[in-house]
Amino acid sequence: MSGLNSRADATELCVRWIGMADTDSLQRAACERIVQAARRAILRRGRFLIVLAGGQTPRGVYRRLGAARENWGKWEIFFSDERCLPADDVGRNSKMATDEWLGRVSMASTRIHAISGELGARAAARAYGRVLKGVGDFDLVLLGLGADGHTASLFPGLDPAAGPDAPDTLAVLDAPVPPPQRVSLSAYRLSRAREVLFLVEGEIKRAALARWRSGEALPATAIRPAGGVDVLVTASLLKPCAAEP
């Protein structure tokens, strides 16, 4: 598996920074992009393969999707990562997505591919690897950015598995924030996508975003789909902080 260099190789990756007026605008735009991507994929290939992000940033997006009327029978839901907690734990990404969206629409459970984090990192990673076997490129991968620069459960200082020999899934045993055991899709597998959309909002993300934009090799820079990535970000984070009086 391949690690990251000290600085990102940005020569071949297009990152499109899209400033949004506020969190509400960001959530609305993200929902619209997801729906449009789904309609394109269903029209062209008969189904829509989406990878969901965890954390708090996409919660409002999922809530909006829960009120939408779409052809849910053509959607296939995957997850970028999961915490190794009981299946009904409020810290689980799958539970948040179910509470806000998936449990509120007519989507067959067989189309929702949750990561069985309750099995423990190693067993869950192996099991999800089997789920992904034979699954082609994702249509849309939704990701966030942590205050420390992590995305999915790919943390700075840990190998994001970005090389072509990388496995689809990683067992994370020593995450620097609790819980330490997690499962994550590898950077290489997340990069196998027609579209990748990052959602970044909140003042706590300012430093990590600045590091990313300066070219530092954060895990986000290891996500390198052929079409580049789009980053929906609250516009205030794209501006330098006001000087202290």
Q: What is the pLDDT along the chain (245 residues), one digit of tens a residue?
A: 445 544 445 446 899 999 999 999 999 999 999 999 999 999 999 999 999 999 889 999 999 999 999 999 999 999 999 999 999 999 999 999 999 999 999 999 999 999 999 999 999 999 999 999 999 999 999 999 999 999 999 999 999 999 999 999 999 999 999 999 999 999 999 999 999 999 999 999 999 999 999 999 999 999 999 999 999 999 999 987 554 33
Q: How far is the C-alpha of 206 from the C-alpha of 201, rounded, in Å? A: 8
Query: Global pTM?
Result: 0.93
Q: What share of the chain is helix, strand, coil (3-state, %, to 5)?
A: 35, 20, 45
- Per the CB < 8 A criterion, the answer to whether 200 and 144 are in contact is yes
Q: How far is the C-alpha of 125 from the C-alpha of 99, rounded, in Å? A: 24
Would you state the pLDDT for residue 156?
96
Contacts of 224 (CB under 8 A, 6+ apart): 12, 13, 162, 187, 191
CA distances from 149 to 57, 144, 204, 214, 216 (A): 14, 9, 11, 13, 10
Would you state the pLDDT for residue 242?
52
Give the chain's domains with CATH numbers.
15-237 (3.40.50.1360)
